[in-house]
Amino acid sequence: MMKPSDEQLAELTLKDKKNFNPLVNKYAPKIRVFIARIIGNWQEAEDLTQETFFRAYRGIASFNPKLKFSSWLYRIAHNQAVNYIKKNYRFKTVEFSEEIKNKFFDEKDILETVYEKENAEEIKKALFKLNSSSREILELAFFEEKSYLEIADILEISVNSVGPNIKRAKDKLKHILEEKHGKFNRKN
Amino acid sequence: MENLTEKINKKIKNTKPIPKWEFVSWEIFKDASIIALFILTVFLLGITIYLANNYNPWEKINFEPTYLWHSFLTTPWELFITIIVLFILIYFLARKIHFAYRFNPLLFALIILILASLGFSVAEMTGLNKNLAETMPIKNIYLSQGRLVAKTRGVVTIGKIKAIKNGNLIVTDNLGNNWTVVISKTNVLGDKVIRIGDVIIINGLKKGNIIEATIIKKMPENWRGKKSSSYFFRIIRVNI
């Protein structure tokens, strides 16, 4: 028998709560890391992840199967993170704990994908200096490897603006690096 | 120590999903609101353009300061502002539904504007704009602001009542010209009690030194000695 897709599981959750468990098991750790990278607080990210799944479960009937379940879930997580930042960091920048930084680095290396390997450490540091929206879009594009359409669905922006937004975030990253180290050694 | 998935499962343990009908009702409400707002915007747009074209002296465009000031005062800004606010509201509400956010925002805004223009054209062709602009709720906006609405292309004169003769007013304007103001079919705005010595603003048809007044309005007591421009310029002439 074929394993049901995430979207099918989401629909079946309305009939039986048990169908939600595989979705929790699959996405909870990812969502926590995703939120933590945006808000910069590992413990708060856990609370927000719980809240994300709580809201997802409560609103599962509103899930549109035309959308990917993961996009829908990440959108809820994104909204949670954005609300948290608005509430807590309105007039200050996000401070990242060492724990977060370590977890950030544990993940697949963004730099191997975006820039050349020799600049990896510097770019990692620079990532933490970006604002949350720039960091988030790089996170979705390179860490989560979401397609443009998925990013558009998560951030509720037009598909056409995803590319320019990623480019802007990368340019900001480059600017931060160049400010500190002079011209950035980028081969592509 | 509980792991994350256990905590989540515990959190949703005693919760039930919100029923689907609630979401469906909410979606229907949102769609209906956007459609209603859109229709309202098209109506207001039609009325605004109609009023701007007909209740302002825009047919005599020039760049004299007085003319520009007059145009500024008689432009239906409240409607313009309302329309802009409604457009922004429609734009943001519509972007949130049915994956509309996926499309180019400029193209999306353009589509809304084109649809509104089409709606306006239909309302214009059917005479709906004219009828609505003449109905009291809309007309009242202007009357309450002292923007006089007259159904004639008339003259505007400000003068002092020197005498009342055969039921007509004898008025001397600022240039010293004497006018016989026929008030048998006049709409008196504001204070209805008019006495000799009062300064009034007159809108009506001129025939020689006779003005068949459509509208007269008494200037307030504290007007004398002050600039009359704001009163003068708030007169709105209508082409029919």
Per-residue pLDDT of chain A (188 residues; tens, 9 = 90+): 678 888 989 988 888 888 999 999 999 988 998 898 888 888 889 999 999 999 999 999 999 888 899 999 999 999 999 999 888 866 555 566 665 555 555 444 444 444 455 555 666 677 778 888 888 898 888 878 889 999 999 998 888 899 999 999 988 888 887 776 666 554 44
Q: What is the interface size between A and B, counted as CB pairs within 8 Å? A: 73
Query: Is pLDDT of B161 > 80?
Result: yes
Secondary structure of chain B in HEC code, one letter for each residue: CCCHHHHHHHHHCCCCCCCHHHHHHHHHHHHHHHHHHHHHHHHHHHHHHHHHHHCCCHHHCCCCHHHHHHHHHHCCHHHHHHHHHHHHHHHHHHHCCCCHHHCCHHHHHHHHHHHHHHHHHHHHHCCHHHHHHHCHHHHHHHHHCCCEECCCCCEEEEEEEEEEECCEEEEEECCCCEEEEECCCCEEECCCCCCCCCEEEEEEEEECCEEEEEEEEECCHHHCCCCCHHHHHCEECCCC
Judged by CB atoms within 8 Å, which residues 7-26 of B form the interface with A? 7-9, 11-12, 15, 17-20, 22-23
Q: Which residues on neighbouring strands pair with residue B217, listed in sequence order?
A: B189, B201
Query: Is pLDDT of B237 > 70?
Result: no
Residue matched to tokens 């009034």 = B200
Q: How many angstroms separate the CA of residue A43 from the nearest CA in chain B? A: 11
Neighbours of A159 (CB within 10 A): 18
Greater pLDDT, A146 or B151: A146
Tell me the percentage of chain B whose pLDDT exceeds 70.
Answer: 70
Q: For strand B168-173 and strand B210-218, is the pairing parallel, antiparallel, or unpaired?
A: unpaired
The contacts of residue A173 (CB under 8 Å, 6+ apart) are A123, A126, A127, A130, A134, A138
CATH number, span B148-236 = 2.40.50.140
Q: Do residue A149 and residue B17 have CB atoms under 8 angstroms apart?
A: no
Break chain B into its structural domains and give their ranges.
Answer: 20-144, 148-236
- Residue B65: both structure tokens together: 């300061």
User: Residue A58: closest CA among chain B residues belongs to which residue?
Assistant: B17
Give yes or no for a contact between B52 and B211, defined as CB atoms under 8 angstroms apart.
no
Is A163 near chain B, with CB under 8 Å? no
CATH number, span A1-95 = 1.10.1740.10
pLDDT at residue number B232: 41
Query: Is pLDDT of B153 > 50?
Result: no
Q: How many angstroms separate the CA of residue B21 from the nearest CA in chain A? A: 9
Judged by CB atoms within 8 Å, which residues 27-86 of A form the interface with B? 28-29, 32, 46, 49-50, 53-54, 57-62, 66-67
B-chain residues near A13 (CB < 8 A): 17
Break chain A into its structural domains and give their ranges.
Answer: 1-95, 108-188
How much is the ipTM here? 0.72
Give yes or no for a contact between A177 and A185, defined as CB atoms under 8 angstroms apart.
no
Query: Is pLDDT of B200 > 50?
Result: yes
User: Residue B21: closest CA among chain A residues belongs to which residue?
Assistant: A61
Fold held by A108-188: Arc Repressor Mutant, subunit A (1.10.10)
**The dihedral of CA B189, B195, B199, B202: what is its sign?**
positive
Query: Is pLDDT of B156 > 60?
Result: yes
Residue matched to tokens 């459609």 = B35
Greater pLDDT, B171 or B189: B171
Neighbours of B115 (CB within 10 A): 14
Query: Is pLDDT of B105 > 90?
Result: no
- Residue A16: both structure tokens together: 């039986």
Choose the most confident range, by mean pLDDT, from A55-59, A86-90, B14-18, B80-84: A55-59
Q: Which residues on neighbouring strands pair with residue B206, listed in sequence order?
A: B211
**C-alpha radius of gyration, chain B, whole number:** 27
Give yes or no for a contact between A9 and A69, defined as CB atoms under 8 angstroms apart.
yes
